[in-house]
Amino acid sequence: MRYGINTFLLTSPFTNRSVRHFRTVKKWGFDTVEIPVEDPAHIDPAYVRRHLDEEGLVCGSVCVCLGLDRDLRGSPKAQKTALTYLMKLVDQAVTLGARSVIGPVYSAVGRAEATPRSVYRQQWRTVVKHLRTLCRHAEQAGVQICLEPLNRFETDFINTCDQALAMVRDVGSPALKVMLDTFHMNIEEKNQAAAIRKAGSLLGHLHACGCDRGTPGKDHIDWVGIAQALRDIGYDGDVVIESFTQQVEVVARAAAIWRQIEPTRDEIAVEGLAFLRRVLGNGKASA
């Protein structure tokens, strides 16, 4: 098991200049970096990889950023734009050495509508078709796609582990896995540990976030139960802290961070990592 940090805690957008943050990530003690790629043109992945190597870090995952102009259930133009973007992220993941492309790969974040069931079913078929294309590319590249359920305020499409597993079954690709996030599960799942066990061997990635997006362990989440569930399924993937602060203003607005949740981002990173290593296990820095 490796422990990582999503760079939204430090900056947005991530560009070539953002590699200066890797030294901080290394000082904090993380094994991996999760990089949200808002625009593939923002980075030269080979350049970023060199700087990761210099700091003794690895890019564990590339995080997708989908808006209304990139939506696999949107307009034909939005579908095409989204698929092109996602395919490029798979290619960049290969160069970065990342094992996973993660996030809500199915639709724009923030699109939450009262969609009639007949329309929803058609959207589902459309997303299945596109994810099959994406996953064929991912299979050839040796990259896994980890599909993340989001809470009801951020999407009306896939909110639960059950729905994510249904999509994985319908797509039918070994490259497609489920990603779970403790923040979203805290809203949508009856029991987070049970959801993890249900995902089982299909769990490809985990976001470990406080219930308020703050420091893991300084909240009411049942971390001991989560730890036991991860052991029960033999999970050996990445565990990534995805927390936000008001200092990165564009992310704060998007994630509705209207107040200072923790005193400093260093506290989120350092204390959160120490807690996760203590409760989930020390892990190891592996490629």
Strand pairing class (203-207; 238-241): parallel
Q: What is the pLDDT of residue 226?
A: 98
Judged by DSSP in three states, 38 sits in coil
Structural domains in the chain? 2-280 (3.20.20.150)
Whether residue 262 has pLDDT greater than 90: no
Q: What is the pLDDT of residue 256?
A: 75
Enter the tokens of residue 8.
Answer: 């939204």
Whether residue 130 has pLDDT greater than 90: yes
Among residues 148, 154, 189, 262, the one annotated as catalytic is 148
Average pLDDT, the chain: 94
Whether residue 119 has pLDDT greater than 90: yes
Whether residue 136 has pLDDT greater than 50: yes
Integer Cα distance of 228 and 58 in angstroms: 27
Strand partners, 111: 155
Q: What is the pLDDT of residue 287?
A: 37
Q: Compute the average pLDDT of residues 239-266.
A: 79
Among residues 34, 154, 189, 242, the one annotated as catalytic is 242
Whether residue 239 has pLDDT greater than 90: yes
- 216, 185 Cβ separation under 8 angstroms: no
- 105, 72 Cβ separation under 8 angstroms: yes
Which amino acid is residue 33, in one-letter code?
Answer: V
113 is catalytic: no
Integer Cα distance of 142 and 98 in angstroms: 10
Q: What is the pLDDT of residue 283?
A: 67
Decide which of 282 and 277 is more confident.
Answer: 277
- Tens digit of pLDDT for each residue in 58-110? 999 999 999 999 999 999 999 999 999 999 999 999 999 999 999 999 999 99
148 is catalytic: yes
> Model's pTM, two decimal places?
0.95
Q: What is the pLDDT of residue 286?
A: 39
